[in-house]
Chain A
């Protein structure tokens, strides 16, 4: 049955149905509604044996989750933007210790200048932190990915960050299908890790590793991430079987199977791109979109298979590396090498700037592209005024 609820609430319901034992909350826009709703549910006794802990910072939020997960219970927290940066030391620590924490990242840009709106700069800051990173396209997928995330995390032995576009998804009311608790229980078995803080089997966790072992530790972590490609794919298939809908996985292809132009993107912008592609293809165009759901690990083989026959690849992303350009673009370009077609990078939707169908249509149908990297909708008048002020 479809429920007309806010994205944040859909996520909270999904997390609650996964029966976490510890939920840590610290406010930062735009993820806050998720933990607010979870607090309400925990305090009402709707989540069994669960502690809801209001902490004093994001550093503490993830650190509490590290302590509880290491003590053998399913743990969850959520953050955004500056909050992710503030907890970054613990982000690396959680993955280094192979703790399968699930965290929602309500995607928001990073200041200065201060800006609370959506883009993917925060996620990109954590791209090398050793977490699995999944991007949701819709509120339904955000809900579904959280249920899958706990299973993936616990199977792989690695934390999962579920990236959900701030405001565009977190604050949007959409019809979502809430699965039954029984179905979630059948899909996600109880969490019983072999290694935890346990007096019957005392062990030391978080030891110091010197140069003679460090490379091996990191290499094994890399292999686990490579192996996660299979687990993420498998989990999406199991999910589809159990819940009767496609969600998650590694990548999704939509549009003309023999497209000349393939757009690559992540997150909620996919919906807008699909609409534009539908229009263009109806008018005789040959367009498609490749959605990357799993950004970490990056499914290089799947990306290559989907793009290698395209005449033009356009990577559309909501983040970029100052002084270099698109981040996802670099990774996709590297995955495609050698690529004989045209390769374009589009930076769009930074700091909450709307990505409209008009802007996309204009860009996708341009005759030629003078620049390899384009800032979509860049207002040159404003640039001129600001540069004169500097």
Chain B
């Protein structure tokens, strides 16, 4: 069955994105690059939330590509009430919006905050943690493309091991982003004990939509991180965006799970495990790991990360 549209003959299984009458919360004509994973993810997330709430959503956006390519004044690609304030404060702005709707007695309204990995895991981390620990009534969605793409592909705390970015550029003496660096924000979110945390990819739209719908119906602080490839930043083909989002799961580098109240509640098993090499090879950001002078040990470093994930989350074993 298609991971994208679901079973068209079974309405209960059909993806919101597959419907002719989807809302198009992020409409066409915006200025994202071809094959942009973030644009795809944002439209899927908001259409699913819009559909689930009867349109009762407002959106707060951190600074980044998503903000820039959707709202070059006077054009606006959003079909929902939308607010952009700053790079690092989207969770706090969303907290304010949620408090305002509660004070107005509008208890049906749902507030979604969204941002890239830089705005979320780095500069927005303080506000995000505050929003989590107060259990503010916000669904935060992080579109993770693993670097600061809007400013020209610089490293973030979400950039993967040995990846090439503009600030981790591999040279003879340096092989790219430090494999010991980085942090797992979904786990940090779980440590706050918030009602819901999930990871998703745009390689499986129905799974992502299901998680968004589940989260939007809950109250309190919820966090979804969605893996969103960036052809420009990764040096991948626009037509490979969805494929890479599937390969990253299949090799074990991006575990898909849900956690409720701080505990893992579901894990997506890998059906056809592949070596990390199959995922890394189509991306220029890892090209330095291949070439004729490459050291095969470097691929092993990344494979070890995938293996550790497979073990930690029991990604290949039975339930």
Contacts and interface: CB of A to CB of B under 8 A. Distances in A.
Q: Do A and B come from one complex?
A: yes
Interface of A: 21-22, 24, 49-51, 53-57, 59-60, 63-73, 75, 89-90, 93, 97, 197-199, 202-210, 213
A59 B84 contact: no
Interface in B120-178: 126-127, 129-130, 133-134
Contacts, number: 160
Interface string B216-244: 00000000000000000000000000000
B195 interface: no
Contacts of B133: 56
B266 to A, nearest CB: 30
Interface of B: 55-58, 60-61, 67-68, 70-74, 76, 78-86, 88-89, 92-105, 109, 126-127, 129-130, 133-134
A207 B69 CA distance: 10
A57 B86 CA distance: 15
12 contacts: A22-B96, A56-B127, A59-B92, A60-B92, A64-B95, A65-B96, A67-B83, A67-B96, A67-B99, A68-B100, A93-B85, A205-B84
B78 A63 contact: no
A127 B95 CA distance: 28
Given A207-B76, A213-B73, A73 B104 contact: yes
Contacts of B73: 207-210, 213
Nearest to A205: B83
B97 A90 contact: no
A24 B89 CA distance: 14
B127 A68 contact: no
A63 B127 contact: yes
A55 B133 CA distance: 10
A63 B92 contact: yes
Contact of B93 (A53, A64, A72, A207): A64
Q: Which 6 A-B pairs have the closest CB atoms?
A: A67-B96, A71-B100, A56-B130, A63-B92, A63-B89, A67-B93
A245 to B, nearest CB: 32
Contact of B127 (A21, A53, A59, A202): A59
Contacts of B105: 49
A53 B84 CA distance: 21
Contacts of A90: 85-86, 89
Contacts of B81: 197-199, 202-203
Given A49-B103, A68-B100, A72-B100, A63 B72 contact: no
Contacts of A63: 85-86, 89, 92-93, 96, 127
A357 B57 CA distance: 60
B96 A75 contact: yes
Given A90-B86, A197-B58, A207-B76, A67 B95 contact: yes
A213 B74 CA distance: 9
Contacts of B104: 21, 49, 71-73
Contacts of B60: 67
Contacts of B58: 71, 197, 199
A68 B96 contact: yes
Given A55-B92, A59-B126, A67 B85 contact: yes
Given A21-B99, A208-B68, 12 more contacts: A51-B99, A51-B102, A66-B89, A67-B97, A68-B97, A71-B100, A199-B58, A199-B80, A199-B109, A203-B82, A207-B72, A210-B73
A22 B86 contact: no
Query: Which of A54, A59, A63, A73 counts the most chain B CB atoms within 10 A?
Result: A63
